[in-house]
Amino acid sequence: MIGDKDRTAMINRLARIEGQLRGIQKMMAADTPDCEKVAQQMSAARKALDKAGHTMLACMVEAHIKAGDESSLDDLGQLISKYA
């Protein structure tokens, strides 16, 4: 389970990503968007979203480990394969 501090950090991270995506949309709406700058911002947003996803994956792994039952640990490999 994600704690309050981590939840707040994740919400803030997602808000920053949302801001990046809005910025990309504005750049694309321009008459002559700078393709390199757009690509750079897309890459940054993608990496930020990947990092957020990895944080959530770590949270799921931690929950499985804390559960400690054998069936939960057996599913861990499938969980990582599914989301990594």
Give the pLDDT of residue 39. Answer: 96
Q: How many domains does the chain have?
A: 1
> Residue 52, CB half-sphere, CA atoms under 13 Å: how many?
18
CATH number of the domain at 70, please.
1.20.58.1000
- The pLDDT-based confidence of 15 (bands split at 50, 70, 90) is very high
Q: Select from 65, 45, 53, 50 the least CA-distant residue to 1.
A: 65
User: Taking residues 54-76, what's their average pLDDT?
Assistant: 80
Mean pLDDT score of the chain, rounded to an integer? Answer: 89
Q: Which domain holds residue 46?
A: 4-83
